[in-house]
Amino acid sequence: MILPLFLALQVMSATPAPFDLAPAPPAPGPSMPGPQTSDEARFDHCVDLATDDPGKAEVEASAWRLGGGRFLARQCLGMAYSREGRWALAAGEFGNAARDAEIAKDNRAVNYWAQSGNAWLAAGDWAQARSALDAALAAGTLSGMYLGEARLDRARAMVAADDLPSARDDLDRALALVPGDPLAWLLSATLARRMNDLHRAQTDIAETLRRSPDDASVQLEAGNIAALSGKEDQAREAWGNAARIAPGTAVAKAATAALAQFGSAAKP
């Protein structure tokens, strides 16, 4: 029986899911086409700055907030912080944007809560992430991709809290909404492995490999699952792929350590 040395890869990846810098979608409901308001135009300008020059966006958004920009200014500030990788500050601003939007009775509050939860995950604060994502999902107005990604993020927070059954429920719901997201399949396969459901793990990692075969993390997990399934050749191949795809990374080191039990290691 092969025992993979690296079984620490869990649903909670140290690398956050790609952070979506797109503005929150408009509040649902009928609308009439018309010219942009001054706030909308200023927001678009601030978003462009957040993407190209986050430092300038911080100055712009902070001045706008002090001048009454409310949740739009706070969202832009959060986007600037996220662009710089200052995740805790970004999460706080998205949460402030959500509260301001709730006071204004603007439906975009749920999107801001979801953004806050995503940023808290990136900051490594799972409790705050879960709280923000609970708020986003409680409203019942998220739909489609936005709902799927919020479910996916909350599943990661549930795993950190060692609530694996709840994580499984959120991940299954996420997969139904974002079936093309390789990360969702990877996390689902990893969670199935952790819950000792090897059949589900094998099925889900096969879906992940079909969508993202050149991702080292996917190959690493494929090796873990193959090893636990007693498939030595497949484990060797997958771990070797992981080491070659991303040499010098933590994933490659984990794959090389796993291969070492066979008395050989991949050479990128």
Give 198-248 pLDDT, tens digit per residue: 999 999 999 999 999 999 999 999 999 999 999 999 999 999 999 999 999
**Quick one: 153 and 205 in the same domain?**
no
Question: How distant, in Å, are the alpha carbons of 23, 130, 187, 254 from that of 160?
Answer: 28, 10, 13, 21
What confidence score (pLDDT) does residue 175 get? 97
Tell me: do 74 and 104 sit in the same domain.
Answer: yes
Q: What CATH number does residue 123 fall under?
A: 1.25.40.10
**Residues 157-168, buried b or exposed e (16+ Cβ, 10 A)?**
bbbbeeebebbb
Single out the residue of 216, 223, 222 nearest to residue 251, CA to CA: 216
Instruction: Look at the chain and report how many structural domains it folds into.
Output: 2
Q: Are residues 92 and 146 in the same domain?
A: yes
Give the start-end residues of each E strand in the chain.
Answer: none
Instruction: Report phi then psi at 80, rounded to 5.
Output: -65, -45
E strands, 11-119, in order = none
- Region of poorest pLDDT, from 25-29, 126-130, 152-156: 25-29
pLDDT of residue 36: 53
Q: How far apart (Å, rounded) are the C-alpha atoms in residues 254 and 220? A: 8
pLDDT at residue 55, rounded to an integer: 94
DSSP reduced 3-state for 106: coil
Asked whether residue 65 is domain-assigned, the answer is: yes
Q: Is the domain of 62 the same as that of 147?
A: yes
- Same domain flag for 93 and 187: no
Q: Answer whether residue 267 is part of any domain.
A: yes
Residue 138, in any domain of the structure: yes
Q: Are residues 46 and 150 in the same domain?
A: yes
Query: 214 in a domain, yes or no?
Result: yes
Determine the pLDDT at residue 214.
96
In a domain, 226, yes or no: yes
Q: Is the pTM of this model over 0.85?
A: no
Whether the pLDDT of residue 126 is over 80: the answer is yes
* SS3 call for 1: coil
Does a structural domain hold residue 170? no
The answer to whether residues 64 and 116 belong to one domain is: yes
Do residue 145 and residue 202 come from a single domain?
no
Q: Does 152 map to a domain?
A: yes
21, pLDDT greater than 50: no
Q: Which domain holds residue 80?
A: 41-158
Last residue within a domain, chosen from 92, 123, 158: 158
User: What pLDDT, on a 0 to 100 scale, did the predictor assign at position 28?
Assistant: 36
Q: Are 151 and 80 part of one and the same domain?
A: yes
pLDDT score of 38: 84
Residues 194 and 255 in one domain: yes
Distance CA 159, CA 163 (A): 6
* Structural tokens at position 167: 């994580």
Instruction: Looking at the structure, tell me whether residues 147 and 53 fall in a common domain.
Output: yes
Q: Is residue 239 part of a domain?
A: yes
Q: At what angle do helices 54-66 and 38-52 cross, to 10 degrees?
A: 150
Q: How far apart are CA 217 and CA 19, in angstroms?
A: 18
Q: Are residues 72 and 125 in the same domain?
A: yes
